[in-house]
């Protein structure tokens, strides 16, 4: 084993670590030395969103010690920032293995630092944590989750006093404080239980009251109360609030997928607990077909993303993609509020730079201000804060199956999204239509936008360099044409510069720096290249559009848009 790695291992074997950890290290050293090397060759990086990684012993794993050291760093920054003020934090966790233990560890470290902790009594959806931070006047918060990653993973997401995840300067400052904790002996491990308060049903009720108040057409639900709904929590925390929220909305025919109802960190029925995946939603699709349901919904383990299934124009069950779900939700909130007479002149919606341009068109034609921010709900939250007092926030979202509805939370929320999607389905059913019928109507009215993405991983030691070289090549020498269409605009978010490639005109992009490039062609196609900040992976997002004159032309036009994206991928030699 490399000497530097062995030195890290020795620190754990000889240091102030529990005996079970030391026994595991000794066993790995004898039986699986390569696995041990991978667990110690680097320290798990505390990024702008916190920690995420495989659970196990070692500096490169999620465990009691990496969680504790991260918490100590976060606590140090909170104390430096707020001085003598009372500091309160809220802590939640999902159904993943060890999530409760990690949440309790986090609570103990905060408490040992004299910080007052509100710890949820059991698993809860991530959006409820955001709501609790704001409701309780907390200075920060943490949720222990790895979202939709496989069962081997867990994570630690850090939040600020607005209920949103960390943004500059706090993200960078917290990272510095976490990196300064280099020894487990720097961590205050055992705090007074007097500093920890358990929270549960009272906060649940406040949160669900908030969600219920988002309803635009409760009268429609009264008439369509028996809408046939199938819901799966995919072994996650959604089960704690989604069924009760739907009941409060007035829905009486909610059918939960029995195979996936019980919280279980092993996610025994799926490979990935991600509602984007057809395989993950297969149990729900089966039940929806059997009972001829009106809508299928699934939430991931921490209930911040939602996937939906509907019957298409041929009566076949299909899963909507994240862009389609966002378009349906944004349009409903804009059109329904206008029809109900509750729209305000200063209403705004917020989307991200890699989400469908169709939302911008919908907002424009409904006279609603639409803002585009960097990828991630923390940037949506930051934009709301920036425009507080000037604009009335209605809804935000992005292509990654996330929506944030209403002004009282600052992270994506699948609980309110499920409820509003069901209300939308009820509204359309009252008019003899499905959500898919509505989607086609929107394509005719606003333009047929179709999106797809691919993710490319470059393995090995040189993977990150290959991706960096790829981005630098695009940056210095952008393609003149892509699949026969002239590239007219280059948007470089790292340099914060837009360039008209025809005239040479440039302008400043008024967003924080981010390593994203976008190419826009003369036929309205948009291609975005976005490397991962934590692994040797790069995502390419493709958006194409055309007109759809009649519903009868849907299949033909859809096929042409699909082929256009395939042609772009081939032309850019991405596969």
DSSP annotation of 55: B
With a cut of 90, say whether residue 2 has pLDDT above it: no
Strands 116-120 and 196-199: parallel
Helices 435-446 and 414-430 meet at what angle, rounded to 10?
90
Q: Residue 347: pLDDT band by 50, 70, 90 thresholds?
A: very high
What are the phi and psi torsion angles at 500 (to 5°)? -80, 110
Name residues whose C-beta falls within 8 Å of residue 438's C-beta, 6 or more positions apart in sequence: 328, 424, 428
Q: Give the active site residue among 95, 147, 528, 543.
A: 147
Q: DSSP 3-state assignment of 155?
A: strand
User: Does domain 207-213+226-446 bear CATH number 3.10.20.30?
Assistant: no
Contact 490, 505 (CB under 8 A): no
Whole-angstrom distance, CA of residue 361 vs CA of residue 162: 30
Tokens 């009820």 sit on residue: 426
Q: Do domains 45-199 and 207-213+226-446 have the same CATH topology?
A: yes
Report whether pLDDT(332) > 70: yes
- Residue 160 above 80 pLDDT? yes
- How many helices (H) and strands (E) in the chain? 18, 23
What SS3 class is residue 545? strand
CB-CB contact of 428 with 435 (8 Å): yes
Distance CA 377, CA 379 (A): 5
147 is catalytic: yes
Question: Pairing state of beta strands 369-373 and 347-352?
Answer: parallel
**pLDDT tens sequence across 113-156:** 999 999 999 999 999 999 999 999 999 999 999 999 999 999 99
The CATH H-level superfamily of 45-199 is Alpha-D-Glucose-1,6-Bisphosphate, subunit A, domain 3 (3.40.120.10)
Q: Percentage of the chain surpassing pLDDT 90?
A: 93
Q: What is the pLDDT of residues 520-558, one digit of tens each?
A: 999 999 999 999 866 678 999 999 999 999 999 999 999
Per-residue pLDDT band for 49 (boundaries 50, 70, 90) equals confident
For the chain, the domains span 1-41, 45-199, 207-213+226-446, 448-571
Q: Which residues lie below 8 Å from residue 158, measured CB to CB, with a gap of 6+?
A: 49, 50, 70, 74, 140, 141, 142, 165, 166, 174
Q: What would the pLDDT profile of 195-246 be if each residue is shown by its tens digit?
A: 999 999 999 999 999 999 999 999 999 999 999 999 999 999 999 999 999 9
DSSP-derived letter for residue 43 is P
Grade residue 1 by pLDDT with cuts at 50, 70 and 90.
Answer: confident
Q: Tokens for 290? A: 């059997």
For 452, the token pair is 């797809």
Condensed to tens digits (0 to 9), the pLDDT of residues 62-88 reads: 999 999 999 999 999 999 999 999 999
In angstroms, how far is the first alpha carbon of the chain from the final one?
37
The answer to whether 329 touches 349, Cβ cutoff 8 Å, is no
pLDDT value at 314 more than 90: yes
Q: How far apart are CA 215 and CA 423, in angstroms?
A: 8
Cβ neighbors of 456 (< 8 A, separation 6 or more) are 537, 538, 539, 540, 574
> Token pair for residue 375?
């990828």
Q: What was the pLDDT predicted at 461?
A: 62
Structural class in CATH, domain 448-571: alpha beta
Strands 116-120 and 140-144: unpaired
**Non-local CB neighbours of 90 within 8 Å, separated by 6+ positions:** 117, 118, 119, 120, 129, 132, 133, 136, 138, 141, 142, 199
Measured between alpha carbons, how far is 89 from 134 in angstroms, rounded to an integer?
10
């Amino acid at each position: 084993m490399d000497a530097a790695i062995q030195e890290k291992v020795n620190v754990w074997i000889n240091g102030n670590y529990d005996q079970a950890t030391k026994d595991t290290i000794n066993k790995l050293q004898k039986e699986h030395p390569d696995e041990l090397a991978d667990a110690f060759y680097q320290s798990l990086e505390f990024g702008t969103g916190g920690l995420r990684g495989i659970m196990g012993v070692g500096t490169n794993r999620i465990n009691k010690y990496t969680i504790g050291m991260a918490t100590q760093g976060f606590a140090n920054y909170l104390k430096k920032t707020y001085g003598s003020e009372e500091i309160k934090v809220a802590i939640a966790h999902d159904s993943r293995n060890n999530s409760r233990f990690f949440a309790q560890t986090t609570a103990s470290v905060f408490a040992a630092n004299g910080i007052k902790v509100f710890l949820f009594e059991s698993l809860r959806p991530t959006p409820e944590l955001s709501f609790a931070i704001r409701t309780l006047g907390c200075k920060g918060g943490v949720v222990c989750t790895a979202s939709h990653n496989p069962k081997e993973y867990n994570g630690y997401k850090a939040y600020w006093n607005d209920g949103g995840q960390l943004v500059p300067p706090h993200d960078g400052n917290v990272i510095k404080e976490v990196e300064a904790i280099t020894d487990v002996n720097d961590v205050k491990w055992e705090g007074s239980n007097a500093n920890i308060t358990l929270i549960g049903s009272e906060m649940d009720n406040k949160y669900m009251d908030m969600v219920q108040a988002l309803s635009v057409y409760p009268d429609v639900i009264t008439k369509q109360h028996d809408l046939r709904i199938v819901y799966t929590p995919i072994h996650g925390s959604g089960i704690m609030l989604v069924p009760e929220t739907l009941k409060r909305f007035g829905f009486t025919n909610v059918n939960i997928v029995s195979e996936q109802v019980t919280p279980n960190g092993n996610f025994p029925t799926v490979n990935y607990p991600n509602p984007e995946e057809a395989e993950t939603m297969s149990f729900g699709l089966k039940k929806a077909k059997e009972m001829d349901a009106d809508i299928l919904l699934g939430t991931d383990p921490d209930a911040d993303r939602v996937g939906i299934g509907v019957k298409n124009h041929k009566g076949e069950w299909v899963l909507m993609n994240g862009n389609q779900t966002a378009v349906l939700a944004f349009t409903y909130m804009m059109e329904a509020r206008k029809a109900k007479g509750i729209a305000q002149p200063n209403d705004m919606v917020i989307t991200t730079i890699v989400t469908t341009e169709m939302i911008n068109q919908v907002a424009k034609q409904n006279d609603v201000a639409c803002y585009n921010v960097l990828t991630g709900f923390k940037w949506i939250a930051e934009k709301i804060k920036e425009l507080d007092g000037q604009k009335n926030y209605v809804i935000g979202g992005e292509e990654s199956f996330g929506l944030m509805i209403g002004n009282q939370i600052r992270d994506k929320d699948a609980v309110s999204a499920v409820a509003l999607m069901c209300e939308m389905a009820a509204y359309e059913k009252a008019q003899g239509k499905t959500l898919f019928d509505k989607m086609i109507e929107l394509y005719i009215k606003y333009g047929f936008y179709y999106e797809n993405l691919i993710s490319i991983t470059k393995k090995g030691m040189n993977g990150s360099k290959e991706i960096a070289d790829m981005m630098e090549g695009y940056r210095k020498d952008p393609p003149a044409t892509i699949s026969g269409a002239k590239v007219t605009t280059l948007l470089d978010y790292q340099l914060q510069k837009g360039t008209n490639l025809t005239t040479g005109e440039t302008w400043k992009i008024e967003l924080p720096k981010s390593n994203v490039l976008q190419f826009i062609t003369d036929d309205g196609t948009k291609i975005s290249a976005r490397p991962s900040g934590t692994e040797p992976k790069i995502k390419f997002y493709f958006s194409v559009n055309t007109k759809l004159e009649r519903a009868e032309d849907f299949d033909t036009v859809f096929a042409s848009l699909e082929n256009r994206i395939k042609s772009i991928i081939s032309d850019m030699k991405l596969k």
